[in-house]
């Protein structure tokens, strides 16, 4: 069993912990939190050993009636791999701790790419992370774009990708985020960071991205235009993408006309927290005009990187190849 520690038990960390626990070849050593909030209480209630991430604050957990198993240093020492799910910028500060105990670590997409030896997407470049000590699992939007572009590159070749990202203002629990009643070019200058980030997976890809931020919390939306090297029909592209396990091509007859209904569908499926681990791609939006492909896809920012973290653990520990890991992860989670 691969022993996994998770530093940070928030939006991503708690989902990764549950996903790791569901895997047949992994176990959760414990999770680390900086403060005794409701997520810390829930971690203990769900059976996870809880570690204090900041020594000076460790006594706060006892004061709040929450039992801890020790300090984060002990968690790192006991783990085969650490998943750092701390807020952006903190992961880079934690790298020294992981190196001190010679424990490989995964970081999230909010960190700069240079925090790690390689940026990772299971469908795009699994092999590049094999045996690496520091791996960055790219952001939710980059994950979604990489999943889409990988099969298109392999099957048809990609001359140019252009993506407009309509981005949620914040996660449901991020009450301090915005805008509240506005639509913002974000950033105003081109490109947004997503294009260069995709190029950390596909270094030779020609891609332009621009972003908007809107007053929503449910999901991101991508308007995608890809100029292909070939001229397949829309039906051929649809068949290709329907064969991708982490792309859900939404059937027209489902009547899912927006991200709200897509999230509701995930809840009706019994998905934990209503998570949508796959790209939600509207099948009827797939259109070909000559060699130009157009489509819309939705990305659940809270969860689509979760299976990627699981696969990255296997890549780092050299315990499976890409196809085997993706299949195992998918079967365990019900993707």
Query: Active-site residue numbers?
Result: 140
Tokens representing 33 are 């939190």
Task: Return d(Cα 85, Cα 7) in angstroms, integer.
Answer: 6
DSSP assignment of 151-184 equals HHHHHT-EEEEEEEEEEESS-TT-TT---SS--E
Backbone angles phi, psi at 302, to 5 degrees: -85, -15
Identify the CA nearest to 210 among candidates 227, 229, 196, 226: 196
Query: Facing residues of 52 across strands?
Result: 33, 71
Three-state secondary-structure class, residue 203: coil
Task: Return d(Cα 158, Cα 228) in angstroms, integer.
Answer: 5
Identify the CA nearest to 197 among candidates 153, 140, 151, 159: 140
- What does DSSP assign to residue 46? T
Tokens representing 57 are 């604050």
Query: Facing residues of 196 across strands?
Result: none
Task: Return d(Cα 312, Cα 12) in angstroms, integer.
Answer: 15
Task: Return d(Cα 80, Cα 136) in angstroms, integer.
Answer: 17
Torsion of CA 215, 216, 222, 223, to 10 degrees: -50
- What does DSSP assign to residue 274? G
Using only the alpha carbons of the chain, give its radius of gyration.
20
Torsion of CA 297, 284, 265, 9, to 10 degrees: -10
Task: Look at the block and give the residue holding tokens 């045996």.
Answer: 131
């Amino acid at each position: 069993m691969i022993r996994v520690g998770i530093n940070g038990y928030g939006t991503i960390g708690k989902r990764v912990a549950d996903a790791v626990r569901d895997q047949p070849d992994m176990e959760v050593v414990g999770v680390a939190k900086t403060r005794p909030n409701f997520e810390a209480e829930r971690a203990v209630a769900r059976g996870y050993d809880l570690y204090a991430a900041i020594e000076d604050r460790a006594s706060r957990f006892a004061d709040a009636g929450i039992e801890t198993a020790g300090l984060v240093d002990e968690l790192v020492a006991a783990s085969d791999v650490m998943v750092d799910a701390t807020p952006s910028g903190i992961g880079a500060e934690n790298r020294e701790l992981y190196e001190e105990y010679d424990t490989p670590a995964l970081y999230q997409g909010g960190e700069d790419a240079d925090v790690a030896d390689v940026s990772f997407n299971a469908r795009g470049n699994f092999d590049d992370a094999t045996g690496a000590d520091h791996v960055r699992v790219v952001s939710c939007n980059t994950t979604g774009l990489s999943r889409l572009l990988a099969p298109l590159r392999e099957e048809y070749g990609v001359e140019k990708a252009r993506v407009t990202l309509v981005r949620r203002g914040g996660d449901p629990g991020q009450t301090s985020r915005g805008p509240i009643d506005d639509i913002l070019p974000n950033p105003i200058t081109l490109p947004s960071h997503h294009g260069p980030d995709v190029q950390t997976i596909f270094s030779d890809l020609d891609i332009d991205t621009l972003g908007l931020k809107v007053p929503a919390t449910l999901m991101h939306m991508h308007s995608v235009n890809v100029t292909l090297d070939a001229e397949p029909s829309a039906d051929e592209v649809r068949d290709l993408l329907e064969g991708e396990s982490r792309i859900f091509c939404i059937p027209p007859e489902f009547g899912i006309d927006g991200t709200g209904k897509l999230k509701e569908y995930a809840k009706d499926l019994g998905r934990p927290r209503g998570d949508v681990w796959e790209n939600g791609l509207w099948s009827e939006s797939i259109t070909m005009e000559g060699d130009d492909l157009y489509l819309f896809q939705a990305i659940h920012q809270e969860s689509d990187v979760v299976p990627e973290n699981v696969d990255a653990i296997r890549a780092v520990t050299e315990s499976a190849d890409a196809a085997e890991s993706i299949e195992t992860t998918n079967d365990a989670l019900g993707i």
